[in-house]
Amino acid sequence: MDEGEDYEEDYEEDFEENYKSFEEIYENHKMFRRETNSKFHVVYSKQGDFPQTYVELIFKPLIVILRKILPNNSELLNPVPKVDVRDLFHVMDELRNTATKNVENSINKKSLNTLIKFLEQEFDKIYKAREIMLRDGKVSFSMLWVFYIPNSEVFYQCDKSGVKLGGIISSVTYNGSQYFIIYINVINYDGIGFKHCTIIRTINYFRGEKSFTEFTELSVILSSFINISNFKRDVIESGKRFFSCYSGTNKYMNYEGLLYLGEEKIRVNGRVMIDLKTFATMNPKHDMGNDRLPDKNQIELNHKNGIYLKRNELFNENNYFLATGFVYGFSFALKKWGKFEVSKLTPIKFKVDAFDELVIPERKKELLKGLVNYYRPRNNTTTIGDSLDPIPDKGNGCIILCHGSPGTGKTLTAECVAESLKRPLWVLDAHELGMDPVTLEDNLSKTLEIGYTWNAILLLDEADIYLERRSTSDLKRNMMVCVFLRLLEYYKGILFLTTNRGKNFDDAIRSRISLFLHYPTLSKDDKLNIWKNFVRRANLSLEVNEQLIEHELNGREIRNIFHISRMIADSREEELTTSLIIDIINEYKSGLNKLDTS
């Protein structure tokens, strides 16, 4: 009989001994090693309250078999691997199938069957406990490893928002620790492509048993334990929106939720631009984790290792399910960069009839419409400006100066143009851009570049400091005007400038302006149209009469008074009437007069 057969026989004799269950061994031993003349040893150990059992493999053919079944188990690469039996628990069916069909050598087959027989004895209590927990829908901490296994589909909660997202378990860690750590495969975006990455969720040690289906008790829920039809559909829909936000061009969206930046959370209700690359550029110190922009070497490595998803395999529900729940961008309402919850993003409903409500002379409105139509997307990409200036990239923008009294429609004009073109309106003021030449150049150059990238309509409100004629007595402001002129010269987009003054403009500024629009004090007809627009927009049957238009009010004041009147009527559960509006107007003017005379 050769050495291999003696080895086998010795083990078979040993195997007939009455094995203690490892629970009993743990009570009396911190480390117990059962060695026989076998092809594997059994090692029992106890670290704190967490028992562990290992199989130390001696017989090389047995190691080869297990390497095929557990290709990602790094322990099997060692000369004498010590494998956690819990890793073998999840491949018992494969072990049995291999022993039945794929092992021809009798010694190897006997060795594998001996291992299987031992494991079945060791797992007997585990099988029984598993059935009870499946029946009751609860799990103990020590049994988490039985259910949370690689390739399982799970739902997890976002740390910041609490929103439920989907993923696939890639691995777990639980040895000798009061934490059960779950590594989850998800799909993220880094400015270059969609990629596979790993997030970590931890279940802290708990006594007794916890429900399989409660996020308040377990931070990760197995999809097999809940009714997932509607739940999964919502996750997939959110993932689909995530892919849409980062596919192709930057996405201009509506958002109602929280903006996140570091520990800061701010409520937002308005329009946002989704743009990860520009976020990273403008916030270089922000820790973006898996979302950070990779360098050239990392990009090559990601492609080489298959981290990036292939373009022809992007858009399917399996990928949508794995998408993370945040995108990066800019809030136009808050004028802040941050992260937005994908589930709170919705398409923008543009006011296609915005120009109809703009109360300015029809001649000016036609001029603006002509400019708007020119800047709409067209098949012919050649622009008129390309052929007019001998210097490349110079003088191709459209700079519109709106000047006149407050509340006469200057800002509304820019809003209507942006709405008609379905582009963002980015409102700026001098304090944001800076009050010294160096700061102005840095901020304005970045703003113009980003605005052009986003196809945004820029509105620089109350731009007087950059428009007034230079003088020998204020060198600092002279330098600011020079910076403003130079950057304006090369801007290719649409920029609105507003001012309440119409005089003392610098001559060089005048030559940079594409179109001057003057907004005189509102006439009675203008006020009549403004009142009618508000009434129509509110779907009211209120008749606009002479009593309303005889008061000296500008457009902004009319809007504020109408808004307050509606609020008061609603609080009284009454219809809005002309008499109520007149009362509000009189109260407003009385208070304003007292303010002026005080």
Interatomic CA distance for residues 119 and 68, integer angstroms = 18
Q: Name the E strands within 141-279.
A: 153-157, 164-173, 179-189, 194-204, 209-211, 220-222, 251-261, 264-274
In the 3-class helix/strand/coil scheme, how is 244-297 assigned residue by residue?
A: HHCCCCCEEEEEEEEEEECCEEEEEEEEEEECHHHHHHHCCCCCCHHHCCCCHH
Indicate yes or no: pTM above 0.95.
Answer: no
| Residue 427 near residue 457, CB atoms below 8 Å | no
**Beta-carbon count within 10 A of 497 CB:** 25
- Sequence-distant (6+) residues with CB within 8 A of 276 are 189, 190, 191, 246, 291, 293, 327, 328, 329
Residue-level pLDDT at 176 = 61
Buried b or exposed e, range 24-51, using 16+ CB within 10 angstroms: ebbeeeeebebeeebbbbbbbbbeeebb
The whole-number pLDDT of residue 239 equals 93
Q: What is the number of other CB atoms lying within 10 angstroms of the CB of residue 541?
A: 7
43 membership: H or E segment, kind and range: strand 40-47
Question: CA-CA distances (angstroms) from residue 271 to 321, 340, 409, 535?
Answer: 26, 11, 21, 25
Pairwise CA distance, residues 375 & 369, whole Å: 10
Cβ 181 vs Cβ 173: under 8 Å: yes
Specify the pairing of strand 345-346 against strand 336-341.
Answer: unpaired
Residue 269, CA atoms < 13 Å, CB-side half-sphere: 0
Asked whether the beta carbons of 533 and 421 are under 8 A apart, the reply is no
User: What residues are paired with 195 via a beta bridge?
Assistant: 188, 308
Exposure of 308 in the CB half-sphere (CA atoms within 13 A):
15
Single out the residue of 573, 577, 569, 534 nearest to residue 555, CA to CA.
534
pLDDT at res. 128: 94
The token pair at 268 is: 């937002």
Q: Are 141 and 205 in contact (CB under 8 A)?
A: yes
**pLDDT, tens digit only, all 598 positions of the chain:** 343 333 333 334 344 444 333 333 333 444 555 555 568 888 877 655 566 788 888 888 889 889 999 998 888 999 888 888 888 999 999 999 888 886 677 778 888 888 898 899 889 999 999 999 999 999 999 899 999 999 999 999 888 888 889 999 999 987 666 889 999 999 999 999 999 999 999 998 888 999 988 877 788 988 888 766 678 888 999 999 999 999 876 699 999 999 999 889 999 999 999 999 999 999 998 888 888 888 889 988 888 888 899 888 889 999 999 999 999 999 999 999 999 999 999 999 998 788 877 888 888 888 888 877 787 765 544 454 454 455 555 657 889 999 888 888 899 999 988 998 899 999 998 888 988 899 999 999 999 999 999 999 999 988 888 887 777 777 888 888 888 888 988 888 899 999 877 667 777 888 888 888 888 888 898 889 889 888 888 888 888 888 888 888 999 999 999 999 999 999 998 888 898 999 999 998 888 888 777 6
List the one residue out of 79, 281, 54, 317 whose CA is nearest residue 175: 54
User: Are 252 and 423 within 8 A, CB to CB?
Assistant: yes
**Cα dihedral angle (18, 23, 26, 28), rounded to 10 degrees?**
-60
CA distances from 379 to 44, 383, 419 (A): 74, 11, 21
Q: Is the dihedral of CA 547, 550, 553, 559 positive or negative?
A: positive
Structure tokens that stand for 524 in this block:
């009675």
Who contacts 186 (Cβ-Cβ below 8 Å, separation ≥6)? 165, 166, 167, 196, 197, 198, 199, 322, 323, 324
pLDDT given at position 590: 85
3-state secondary structure of 531: helix
Q: How far apart are CA 539 and CA 360, in angstroms?
A: 23
CA–CA dist 135, 176 (Å, integer) = 28
Domains of the chain: 3-122 (no CATH), 138-349 (no CATH), 392-519 (3.40.50.300), 524-597 (1.10.8)
